Amino acid sequence: NTCLSAMPKVKIGIIGGSGLNNPELLKNGVEKTVDTQFGQPSDVLIEGQIQGVDVVLLARHGRHHTINPTNVNYRANIWALKTLGCTHVIVSAAVGSLKEEIKPGQFVVPDSFIDRTTKRIQTFYDGSPNGLPGVCHIPMEPAFCPTTRKILLETAQELGLTVHPKGNLVVIEGPRFSSKAESNMYRSIGGSIIGMTLVPEVVLAKEAGLCYACVAMATDYDCWFDHVVDVPSVLATFKQNVDNIIKLFVNVIPRIAEQDWTDILANNELTVKNGIQSEQV
C-alpha cells in the first residue's frame, strides 16, 4: 500500500511508565545508555515494541525512584528520546486534585498548565556552549499535542475509565507538598490538578518538535479538602490504578501508529523555527 508506506514511522517515548517494561508487553526490549550534550537522562532507556509499534521507555525519577522532581534532568530526558528518533512522547503523572469532582483514582488529560516551578532550566537554547544557538520563545498554546490528547482521551473513554477531558495542571517546585493556603490559592487561580514534573518536560518536548501529551492520575485531594496528603496514601492510590494507565497506553500506542502525522510533525518543526530569534530586532 503506497499510501501507508509514505507515512512517516512513529516512535513513541513513554515517560513514567512503571509496569510497562513487563516483557509480556514489551517485545525485543534493549537497554540503551544515552549520553546527551545536556547530561545524563534519569536512567537507561528501554527500546522495544508494544503491539508492533516502536517505543522507548524512560523512568522519570530513575528506576528506583531516587531523583527528586527538581533534580530530574528534563533536558537530557527529552533530548535522549529525540536522539533515539521519537516522534511522540506520552507521559503519566501522579497529581493531587484541586476540584471536588476529580476524585482520587480518576484520570485527567490536561490541556494547559500553570507553572510555579523556580529552579529548572526550561530551554535547550540557553546561550551556553552546549546549548542550541539563538533564543527560543516557544508558544505554549496549545501546550499539548491536540491530536495525541484526543487519542488518549477517546481511548480512555472506550476502556471505561473515568477521565476528565481537560484541566489546568499546576506544577510546583516540590519536593514538599503545598500548604493549605497555597492549595486554596491554586484552586482560586484556576488549577484543576497539581503535580511536580510536567514543567519543564512539556516545554522541552515542544522545543524538540515532539507530539507530547499527558495522562494524570489523581492520587489525593491535596490538602485544601481537609485531607492528609502523604506518600503512603499517594502510593496506595497510584498502585491501585496503575494497571489502568498500562492498559490505556497499550491501547493508545497502535492508534497513534495508524495515523498519518506528516503535517502535524511538519507544523511542530515550523513552530520551533518561528520561535527562534537569532538576530537583533
Catalytic residue set: 220, 222
Residue 216 as a binder of ligand ADE (CB under 6 A): the answer is no
Select from 38, 74, 107, 177 the one that contacts ligand ADE (CB under 6 A): 177
**Least gap, CB of 225 to ligand ADE (angstroms):** 10
Q: How many CB atoms are closer than 10 A to CB 220?
A: 22
Residue 194 as a binder of ligand ADE (CB under 6 A): the answer is yes
CA 108, 114, 119, 124 dihedral sign is positive
Residue 220 as a binder of ligand ADE (CB under 6 A): the answer is yes
**Least gap, CB of 170 to ligand ADE (angstroms):** 8
Residue 54 as a binder of ligand ADE (CB under 6 A): the answer is no
CB 237 within 8 A of CB 103: no
34-69 burial, b if ≥16 CB within 10 A, otherwise e? Answer: bebebeebbbbbbbbebeebbbbbbbbbeeeeeeeb
CA 21, 22, 27, 28 dihedral sign is positive
Question: Segment near ligand ADE (CB under 6 A), from 124-132, 138-146, 170-178, 202-210?
Answer: 170-178
Residue 94 as a binder of ligand ADE (CB under 6 A): the answer is yes
What's the rounded Cα separation, in Å, for the pair 149 and 164?
Answer: 12
Select from 156, 208, 222, 244 the one that contacts ligand ADE (CB under 6 A): 222
**Least gap, CB of 278 to ligand ADE (angstroms):** 37
What separation in angstroms does the CA of 45 have from each of 79, 181, 218? 12, 39, 26
Query: Is 199 or 234 the residue whose CB approaches ligand ADE more closely?
Result: 234
Residue 252 as a binder of ligand ADE (CB under 6 A): the answer is no
Residues that bind ligand ADE (CB under 6 A): 94-96, 172, 177-178, 194-196, 219-220, 222, 229, 234
